[in-house]
Structure 1
Amino acid sequence: MQASLAPTRVALGRTSSRVQARRSAVVVYAASRPLWQPGVTPPAHLDGTLPGDFGFDPLNLGVNKEALDWYRNAELQNGRWAMLGVAGIIFPAELTRVGLLNVPDWADAGKVYAESENAIPFASLLMVQFFLFNFVEIKRWEDIKKPGSQAEAGSFLGFESAFKGSGVSGYPGGPFNPLGLGNSSKESMDDFKWREIRNGRLAMMAFLGFLAQHAATGKGPLDNLADHLADPWANNFCSNGVSLPVSIF
């Protein structure tokens, strides 16, 4: 009887060892994975596979898989627009400061253009923007629902190949990646995806900062920075009259 049970005991021992090994691997992965707060347990729907996933979703907005994919795409788009916006604020301001360009402050640029002699009427601009953005957003939404679907014949006047995408919604590739960044390997592409989402998040925070700074001081970010560097104790977030209810300087 004992002889007949021996193989079973050996098999159970091997199974137990495999289970323990898998558990150890999971523990090691969880310990090594970068999290927004060290030691916290990330939610189950954030398993670390998405670029920029640090396990942060306190409201559980991404529990639904389709919602999570929508939020991922929305964050990508907002991050990309923010990076363009931040660059479009800083570079013209710096070129104007050194005398290579002469353009108004970013917060006044729209008003200055609208009041210029050859300005396109605002209503016309608005309608064109509605049409163009509607077209682009519909194409993007269809690609989110079915990646690669916009390459199907008849979807865009013979230019379908340009909208084929990479097979992952949010990353069109092809003509939208003219430098071929990350195309050398999957590891390289994953690295660029991580860089993009982190820079996009930083740009969104920076743009919020630009808005707050202008509301508080009436100046652009470079002017605020120059004032702060010239006299850090007199020009900072404590002394603008808005950040703190009572100034301590």
Structure 2
Amino acid sequence: MALVAVVVAALISCASAGEAFVPSAGSLPSLRRTAAAPRSDVRMQAEMSQSLPFLMRPSKLDKSMAGDVGFDPFLLSDQLNLEWMRAAELKNGRVAMLAVVGWLVTALGIHLPGRDFVGFEAVSKNPLAVHLQIIAACGMVELANLDKDFGGNYVNNEIGNYGFDPLNFSKGKSQAQMDDLRLKEVKNGRLAMIAIIGLMVQSLVFPGKSPFSL
């Protein structure tokens, strides 16, 4: 039962950010609607979704957002706050990238001392104290950034920017270079969310099998 609960929680976590396929932003966008104007054939063509050219582009999406290809078939952007979804997408994508790397590293046989587990084995075989430590650590990170996530007080007014850059990776980068890095982060995060779900499904369908042995 505990294993099923973890799987459901993980899937909900990834799905909750309908943002995995909703566009993202490097800076706070303006969400104001513009007055309706007569549409020519050219204007109609320009408003078709880039990713789904047979559908109209949702009105609340912003082309200035990194990774925006007009993909929002469920019109989540009409129902939820776009900036909140952007922050959630980035956070879920970053966690998913770490999760994929961790899953594959353990599958290769690299483990912490005394923790020879792979995939979901870690859920059932690790003691409750280990899970509580992980939850506590996540809680502290969330509390430390509460004002940013719920108050919008991000560094440089940039959604998802928590000021975490210990290696000064962004130092000396031009605006164009930073925009390129933001786009890569969004794309890799979306791919990682799909990948970790795939790894979890594979682990359930082929229990005890390493993803490298299939």
Corresponding residue number in structure 1 for 2:78: 63
Q: Please give the secondary structure, in 1, of the residue aligned with 2:117.
A: coil
Q: Please give the secondary structure, in 1, of the residue aligned with 2:145.
A: helix
Give the superposition deviation at 1:57: 1.6
User: 1:67-118 CA distances to partner (integer Å, 9 max, x unpaired)?
Assistant: 111111111111111110110011232245xxxxx9332221343433xxxx
Aligned partner (choices 81, 84, 87) of residue 73 of structure 1: 87
Corresponding residue number in structure 2 for 1:204: 193
Corresponding residue number in structure 2 for 1:38: 53
CA distance in 1, matches of 2:143, 2:104: 31
How many aligned positions are there? Answer: 171
CA distance in 2, matches of 1:181, 1:39: 39
CA distance in 2, matches of 1:182, 1:35: 33
CA distance in 2, matches of 1:40, 1:209: 28
CA distance in 1, matches of 2:131, 2:120: 19
- Structure 2 regions of 5+ residues with no counterpart? 1-38
Corresponding residue number in structure 2 for 1:133: 138
1:144 and 2:149 are equivalent in the alignment? yes
Greater percentage in helix: 1
Q: Aligned runs of 1:1-249 on 2, under 5 Å?
A: 30=46, 35-38=50-53, 40-63=55-78, 67-95=81-109, 103-114=116-127, 122=128, 124-148=129-153, 165-173=155-163, 175-176=164-165, 178-181=167-170, 183-218=172-207, 219-224=209-214
CA distance in 2, matches of 1:187, 1:91: 33
> Structure 1 196/138 Cα, relative in aligned 2: closer, same or farther at 3 Å?
same
Code of the aligned partner of 1:50: M
> Structure 1 183/72 Cα, relative in aligned 2: closer, same or farther at 3 Å?
farther
Code of the aligned partner of 2:189: G
Contact 2:96 2:189 in 1 (8 A): yes
- Aligned residues: percent identity? 30
Give the superposition deviation at 1:184: 1.1
Give the superposition deviation at 1:200: 0.8
User: 1:135-155 CA distances to partner (integer Å, 9 max, x unpaired)?
Assistant: 32234342134444xxxxxxx
Q: Please give the secondary structure, in 1, of the residue aligned with 2:156.
A: coil
Give the superposition deviation at 1:129: 4.1
CA distance in 2, matches of 1:128, 1:145: 25
> Structure 1 185/196 Cα, relative in aligned 2: closer, same or farther at 3 Å?
same
Give the superposition deviation at 1:127: 4.5
> Structure 1 55/180 Cα, relative in aligned 2: closer, same or farther at 3 Å?
same
Code of the aligned partner of 2:121: D
CA distance in 2, matches of 1:183, 1:36: 34
> Structure 1 190/34 Cα, relative in aligned 2: closer, same or farther at 3 Å?
farther
Larger radius of gyration between Structure 1 and Structure 2: 1
- Structure 1 regions of 5+ residues with no counterpart? 1-22, 97-101, 115-121, 149-163, 225-249
